[in-house]
Structure 1
Amino acid sequence: MESLELTKLAVEAADDKHANDIKVLDIQEMSIVADYFVIMDASSSRQVGAIVDTIEEKIEENGLRVNHIEGKKDSSWILMDLGDVIIHVFLNEEREFYNLEKLWSDAKEVDVSNWVSE
């Protein structure tokens, strides 16, 4: 599966669990770490865990696996390593504090409007 397809799968899964303000940053030209960063937040640690679980289920349903998950289900920030795609699921306050979008402000933002419900 191409990294953009994998990114879309993760975004749609997160949207199913009502993740807030999902952003996808194309970092292919900026980093060898990954092709895309997916950044989102949730209102509670329970919702953060539900989003991570749903993304993991969708990935596995498609015959793939998550390389690594950093953080526990009750954490305020969980990182999912899907290889070429890195997913960050934050609590609202943590996302504002770490502000990854500003840190990676030179990255191109991918339009995900067709992947999420309004």
Structure 2
Amino acid sequence: MLGVIRARTWLRYSEPLLQPWKEIETVLTDVKADDVKVIPVPKHCDWADFMVLATGRSTWHVKNIAQALIYKAKQKQRGVERMMLPSVEGQAGGKWIVIDSGKVIVHALDEKARAYYNLEGLWTPGGIQNEHDEDLQKALVKVRRKNNSKKPAQKNA
């Protein structure tokens, strides 16, 4: 009997806490999240099937997006299952909040953080070309200055 209970518990935990398309889409539409994008995670990453990116207009809006998703996950669970809530990071700051609900990872970011971190460029195949790539390369490459001084080099004796 104990083996059956453990098997059921394992099956229950392996299911995502939020159903990927229907529930997340409705919650994000209800809280009026901007620029929602779904990015499939490459097959070599077994920790998630896809990521959802949503933009909030302010830190309060980003926190509201995260709270709405957590509330929806709580509504689905009953009794002992309530212990399996999504993992949430970044709620204190409110600029970038990550909700990990199993096979779906939701990133709620404000506009500046979304532009700065460019998660679409990191996770899409081939990446999105950033217009600041040249500036970044110049900043990372150490440029040696020529020695234009008229003084001859000193010889160490």
Which residue of the other structure, out of 64, 67, 75, is the alignment partner of 2:86?
A: 67
Higher helix proportion (structure 1 or 2): 2
Structure 1 partner of 2:105: 86
The TM-score with structure 2 as length reference comes to 0.61
Higher strand share: 1
| Aligned equivalents of 1:66, 1:36: Cα separation in 2 | 18
Q: Which runs of 4+ in 1 moved over 6 A?
A: none
- In structure 1, the gaps of 5 or more residues are 108-118
Give structure 2 stretches of 5+ with no counterpart: 1-11, 127-157
Q: 1:102 to 1:30 in 2, by over 3 A?
A: farther
Which residue of structure 1 lines up, in the alignment, with residue 121 of structure 2?
Answer: 102
CA separation of 1:57/1:69 partners in 2, compared to 1, >3 Å: closer, same or farther?
same
Q: Tell me the alpha carbon deviations over residues 59-104 of structure 1, each in whole angstroms, 9 at most, x when there is no partner.
A: 1212274331001254200000101111100001100111111101
1:66 touches 1:80 (CA, 8 Å); kept in 2? Answer: no
Q: In structure 2, what is the Cα distance between the partners aligned to 1:15 and 1:93?
A: 21
Structure 1 equivalent of residue 131 of structure 2: none
Q: 1:54 aligns with which of 54, 62, 68?
A: 68
Quote the residue 2:96 is aligned against.
77
What is the Cα-based RMSD across aligned positions, in Å? 2.2
Which stretch shows the higher mean deviation, 34-43 or 63-72? 63-72
- What TM-score, normalized to structure 1? 0.79
* 89 and 74 in structure 1: CA distance in 2 versus 1, 3 angstrom threshold: same
Q: Percent identity, please.
A: 27
Aligned to 2:19: 6
- How many residues align? The count is 106
Aligned residue runs from structure 1 range 15-30, under 5 A: 15-27=29-41, 29-30=43-44
